[in-house]
Amino acid sequence: MAGTFVIAQGGGPTAVINQTVVGAVLEIRKTHPGARVLGSRHGVRGIRDGDYVDLSDMREDQLRLIARTPSAALGSTRDKPDAAYCELVLKGLQKAGADAFIYIGGNDTSGTQQILTDAAGGKIAFVHAPKTIDNDLVENDHTPGFISAAEFVAGAFLSVDLDFRALPGIYVGIVMGRHAGFLTAASAAWRLDGDSGPHLVYVPERAFSVDSFIEDVKATMAKHKRCIVAVSEGVSTADGRSLVETIVGSDKVERDAHGNVKLSGSDLNRAFEQALAEKLPGKRARVDALGYMPRGYIGAINPVDAQEAFDAGAFAVGVATEGGGSVALQYDGRETVFRKVPLSSVAAKTRHMPDDFMLKDASGLSETGLAYLHRLVPAKYQVGKPFV
């Protein structure tokens, strides 16, 4: 392959997405000496506008430092290219003399690469490198960014359960996850025993009912004298609408450029607070949205996650030399392996958490689900059993 690679980052930042950039840059230097490497600022928007940073000659120690830094060093975007936007992106790539475009991101990013592939007619190699804390890319056992975020969530719920043993009450933690509940399920990864929280886990794959939620909380309080709840921000009611959309109204909710409803925030918090106050008056209750904190927290960068993200970037360069595609992290029964899969197999598709990962009620994860999480997020701390 001739000599210009363009790299960009799309969607929500993570703790390890910069590892993928640096993995790609260093692999290009090794396998394509003298190649030019351009980092597009703010995803495809930078390509459209000709806004690049030249990574070709940046010192390796500087790149390694960026790799260890959370968030998206090149900047990101939620832009969703239509046909006209794609035409501008292609013109930008052509103007830059790009032979390959490596775009690091999740579902929407893979969809953009498929659109650009179809429009370019084989003249540029388009590669999707995986990234998402939601863990919802098909063809992948898990995705770079998930393990670190899952560690944060597991630690947060272990900590809050210990807190509420000391001062009993009800705690509801709202966790990121629009269509898939993997990250919310991670809240149960470090439970100490059958008495430990989270006692209730609600994910987008199961219909949510406020009335059932209240009954679940009442039963848990009667059994454990406290109730720790993990709930995905994307939980939906039986009619298929997100809970926040049901509460606020379809015509009043905020949406991003992809048409996605803004899920977390004050409306969802207030809905849970109001339900608890009305149905369980006098009970000590707290509702928190973990918000963006899990996805790029510098104190929970998992070394395996970081290495896999780096390796995904390096592997993406090989995929580019083969004409393009998507990088997938798969599990062969012993270890994580990297494979090239067609963009069409991943683009704009959503991987949901398997039904057998959850128990039939909301009380938590099955042995299958726990085994999956324990493989990726083994217990990190030794904690004494409280006396209360």
Write out the catalytic residue numbers.
134
Exposure string of 188-198, with b = 16+ CB inside 10 Å and e = fewer, is bbbbbeeebbb
Which run of H or of E encompasses 23?
Answer: helix 17-31
Q: How many residues make up the chain in this entry? A: 388
Asked if 271 and 242 touch (Cβ cutoff 8 Å), the reply is no
The residue among 136, 6, 10, 138 whose CA lies nearest residue 81 is 10
Neighbours of 288 (CB within 10 A): 14
Helix axes 83-96, 107-120, angle to 10 degrees: 70
Cα–Cα distance measured from residue 223 to residue 69, given in angstroms and rounded to the nearest whole number: 44
The residue among 216, 203, 206 whose CA lies nearest residue 175 is 203
